Structure 1
């Protein structure tokens, strides 16, 4: 606490009075500038809420929010050469429940945040940016959302569109998981049918035991279909006794037990290997040839989910090929923006949501961009804050 008594001066000629400059606070405020700066530094952390800051510095929650609004104002950044676009479920409004995030692939900074991913919102936003600036964009990377492709082709005349491997494999993961569930349900139905039979033959008892084992493995070890853990692919890993499977197994053995006893799942998993190989051995020169061979494999599989994924590859073929075009020596990826989306969700969940869109957007830019800063004094035309 500082008990400060300001001097008042009077002009000997015109007799007007004025107060001396207060070095501790701004006009109309009861909290010191040092406290204001501490509040703003704490609000850099996405997990810190206005309530946490208010309790720490003995002010009201409204004052903490008003301090932030008065000292922090962040404009959009210039469009980068390599632009990442993605959405995140973070701010629900009457127009949309998704927030569209724009990220610079090179600097890893958030360029801007938009309240919707709808086509009209994106078109209006990019139209407000000068054409010369939009022409500087070389690559736009996004997931398989058709709106992004349409908008990118119209708004960025010199850019190529790319769909990175993260979202392609994510889409494939949904398809192969559907195959796994169908096979698991087949074993489950057979298991339930045999359990209801009062009298079982010796063959049926063995069949029931096998169906139970397969159902257990497909139910409990489904994560192996999506993991890149090296232990899954090493048959020489140490084996541990599994009571349900009644034998010694390592991860490799369990995966083989799941996929090799069903022809559909076996083929689907082999196609997963082909997809992984496509991304590991392809480059800017041979990607188009390799993806055409991959499409043939998926379309000839006779498995509905795999054939559907083959059609997806056809639809996004050129965007997938463009993802191999290097961005300053690196393959462009939306993995960075997924990390930013996680932080945005943390910011939202820790505060139980935001109602003020401008404050939410500013908080995102302020917390996630390391070089973002605040003003030393209240921003003009925003008004003073009081306790």
Structure 2
């Protein structure tokens, strides 16, 4: 039978449901195995088969490409038996590529965050696909900017708002600390008004709307 191939104990429909639960529903392999009363290796094998459908599928058309780094695992070094030098075999930093406009999701991921790593992934994509990209959203990374200038010279580089706000908050905190040192001749203390109002300076609109008590507390030092 098509639903029960030779040598299997579960139906193809159940195996497909297990793979899609991990791939699309965001469930872990262990949780999916518990819900469907299957073993961990069975669900993991179903997930590999289901994930291969996405990996082998052609890339969707993207006009705004997002590039960012992700820290994963630990750095692994191995010593060369001939030269005695230590070589990096696994980088803890990965570079992810996403569709920043249509929210399609993760397009690809490579180990490392150098210019060569970004260009290596771009070289695997069709030329027509790369020409369709109009903007590339990155953080304030000179490495990613250099890679884009080489691999996507026609695209416009933009900085996502999260990193712009983060940089502004860091600069605001530096100004507050330096001003305290210049005016008071010492580091800031918990009793200083500028220290008490530091959270108000960095508070966003969402926190203001959902935390009225904290907001009124900060406003008292205006």
TM-score range, shorter chain: 0.7 to 0.9
In structure 2, the partner of 1:252 is 219
Name the one with the larger strand percent: 2
CA distance in 1, matches of 2:131, 2:36: 47
Give the structure 2 partner of residue 244 of structure 1: none
Partner residue of 1:151? 147
Distance 2:101 2:187 in 1: 54
Indicate which of 100, 104, 108 corresponds to 1:105: 100
- Unmatched tracts of structure 1, length 5 or more: 1-21, 192-210, 233-237, 241-248, 257-387
The CA distance in 2 between the partners of 1:160 and 1:142, in whole Å, is 11
Q: Please show how residues 133-212 of structure 1 align to structure 2 within 5 Å.
A: 133-181=129-177
Aligned pair 1:82/2:64, yes or no? yes
> For residue 72 of structure 1, what is the aligned residue in structure 2?
51
The 1:117–1:26 alpha-carbon spacing in structure 2 relative to 1, beyond 3 Å, is: farther
Deviations 1:123-148 (A, max 9, x none): 12212333333222211111111111
What is the aligned partner in structure 2 of residue 278 from structure 1? none
Query: Given the alignment of the two structures, is residue 224 of structure 1 paired with residue 191 of structure 2, yes or no?
Result: no
Q: Which blocks of at least 5 consecutive residues in structure 2 are unaligned? A: 76-88
Distance 1:230 1:137, change over 3 A: closer
Shift of residue 28 of structure 1? 2.1
Write the distance in 2 (CA, Å) between the matches of 1:39 and 1:56: 9
> Is residue 2:210 matched to residue 1:214?
no
> 2:12 maps to which residue?
33
User: How high is the TM-score relative to the length of structure 2?
Assistant: 0.73
How far has the Cα of 1:179 moved from its partner?
Answer: 3.6
Cα 1:67/1:131, change in 2 over 3 Å: closer
Q: Paired residue for 2:25, among 45, 50, 55?
A: 45
Residues 77-116 of structure 1, C-alpha deviations (whole Å, 9 max, x = no match):
1451221111222355543222222222332112222233
CA distance in 2, matches of 1:28, 1:188: 79
CA contact (8 A) 2:119 2:147 kept: yes
Bigger relative CO (Cα 8 Å, ≥ 6 apart): 1
Contact 1:100 1:117 in 2 (8 A): yes
Cα–Cα, structure 1 residues 117 and 230, in superposed 2: closer, same or farther, change >3 Å?
Answer: closer
SS at match of 2:118: helix
Q: Residue 77 and residue 188 in structure 1: after superposition, are their counterparts in 2 closer, same or farther (change >3 A)?
A: farther
Q: 1:171: Cα distance to partner?
A: 1.2
Instruction: Output the TM-score relative to the length of structure 1.
Output: 0.44
Aligned residues: 199
Is the 1:143–1:164 Cα contact (8 Å) retained in structure 2?
yes
